[in-house]
Amino acid sequence: MSQVDRIEINLYEYFRNENFVPGDSIPKEVELAEAMGVSRTAMREALTRFKTLGIIESKKNRGMSITQPDFFQNMNRILNPSLLTKETMQDFFELRLVIEMGIVDLLFIRKTNDDLKKLENIIEKEEAAKSKSEKLKLDIEFHSTLYQISGNHTIERFQKILMPIFDYMNHDLHIRSQEENEDYISHRVLLKILENGTAEEFRMNMHKHLIQYFEQIK
Amino acid sequence: MSQVDRIEINLYEYFRNENFVPGDSIPKEVELAEAMGVSRTAMREALTRFKTLGIIESKKNRGMSITQPDFFQNMNRILNPSLLTKETMQDFFELRLVIEMGIVDLLFIRKTNDDLKKLENIIEKEEAAKSKSEKLKLDIEFHSTLYQISGNHTIERFQKILMPIFDYMNHDLHIRSQEENEDYISHRVLLKILENGTAEEFRMNMHKHLIQYFEQIK
DNA sequence: TATCGATATATGTCGTACATATGTATTTGA
DNA sequence: TCAAATACATATGTACGACATATATCGATA
């Protein structure tokens, strides 16, 4: 274990014991370094780790302060498809489906009339859309809106970050067109159920709507 | 934008262009620094960021190499309840419910006889358990096993990390005992459905099983 | 030939100096 | 008197040079 590792642990302990909340400012580098009897260099490296994790932030002269860490910001930095194994990619692919099926209860708890109108609006554009790319764009917008309606910002951001992966994996899939698909469930049907149906109905039909993706899972 | 920020971006570009895969070794610090015309100090700080994110790793003399980043490892370092806002905590609380409802399809795709036996085993212990703490432990084990059965390692790890949060929030909840709860769905019922029922049934009953948590959501 | 030891090497740690941005105090001018 | 411009102090950011330390490689010795 290196010096910096020890410093990191000590700092972490220190932050917890002091009961810092986001916004609180912390002692300056030299003070921390002296207090722990280490060089400013080593202390800075430990601090850099915390900065990278989003636990602290520093401004040129104002010193450093505790911040609310943001997982998904980091996730963005590391979710480079070329660096992920195929298995992890597949996992995230499935996770998207899991979330999409799982948020249904939240939708029924939190839906508002405005939300329904918004979906209606998207569907209308979708039905009028000519080009394939435009349809795809509106398809994504529909599902993104569902995440919004869930009212869970964390999940919403999560989905935004997972999107590129889903996109990336889509290239390998042969997606049947609506015409080829006997019992295709359209967005309009989903909206009707969200308006007048139950969560159970919605889940069943969402599953059918996503059936082509589920078929990929073995 | 600071010098180090620029270096980070450049490095990121460089890594991508070189098509590195985990295990590949990268040039040494001084070479990278010279190549970009910056000091070793600044380069090291940028490298520290990547090390923190788990994109590269360094060994004392062997130099540095690309590694498979591990998002959840970082998450562990960050998930300090005292540093999270109440809203984010609530979000994660909900996310757990979302995943639990969403993995049902994976369960039905991937369940094996061994899995069912394992669940049966847990339930038997649970029914024989006397103390409250032991029951709680087995309750957690039951649900953890479901995550295992989902066959999705990413989700499984995700759940393990979210557990402390869920635990933490549980303290604030008044959980009705089974006796107080009219139509409580037991683990045994869930297992029966997993054995002989359908995914839809399972979801409906899982929702009832978790009803007390869903009632917390507004 | 096998084992031990010297050496070279790349990261880790240290100290110092200076750059830069920013908040605060001071001076200047109307 | 007050506002604007200026100077100053301060904390982080960047740079350089030196040494510590772990480890791989090669060479010497028994």
pLDDT digits (tens, 9 = 90+) for A13-67: 999 899 898 899 999 999 999 999 999 999 999 999 999 999 999 999 999 999 9
**A46, A80: one domain:** no
Q: Of B47, B69, B91, which marks where a domain is finished?
A: B69
Distances (CA, A) of B192 to A11, A31, B112, B199, B205: 50, 62, 14, 12, 11
CA distance A26 to A8: 15
Q: Is the CB of A29 under 7 A from strand D?
A: yes
Q: Of A69, A96, A112, which marks where a domain is finished?
A: A69
**B186, B127: one domain:** yes
CB contact under 8 A, B106 and A94: yes
CA distance B8 to B148: 37
Q: Is the CB of B41 under 7 A from strand D?
A: yes
**B104, B15: one domain:** no
Strand C nucleotides below 7 A of a protein CB? Answer: 8-16, 20-23
CATH of the domain at A13: 1.10.10.10
Number of domains in chain A: 2
Domain range for B64 is 3-69
**A52, A111: one domain:** no
**A64, A81: one domain:** no
Q: Is the CB of B1 under 7 A from strand D?
A: no
Which residues in chain A have their CB less than 8 angstroms from residue B88's CB? 68, 154
Q: pLDDT digit of tens for each residue in chain B (218 aa)?
A: 899 999 999 999 999 899 898 899 999 999 999 999 999 999 999 999 999 999 999 998 899 999 988 777 778 777 766 677 788 888 988 999 999 999 999 999 999 999 999 999 999 999 999 998 899 899 999 999 999 999 999 999 989 888 888 888 877 776 666 666 667 889 999 999 999 999 999 999 999 999 888 888 88
Separation between the CA of A10 and the C1’ of D21 (whole angstroms): 23
* DSSP-H helix ranges across A21-131: 29-36, 40-53, 71-78, 86-102, 104-110, 113-128
Q: Of A52, A69, A86, which marks where a domain is finished?
A: A69
**B93, B190: one domain:** yes
**B108, B187: one domain:** yes
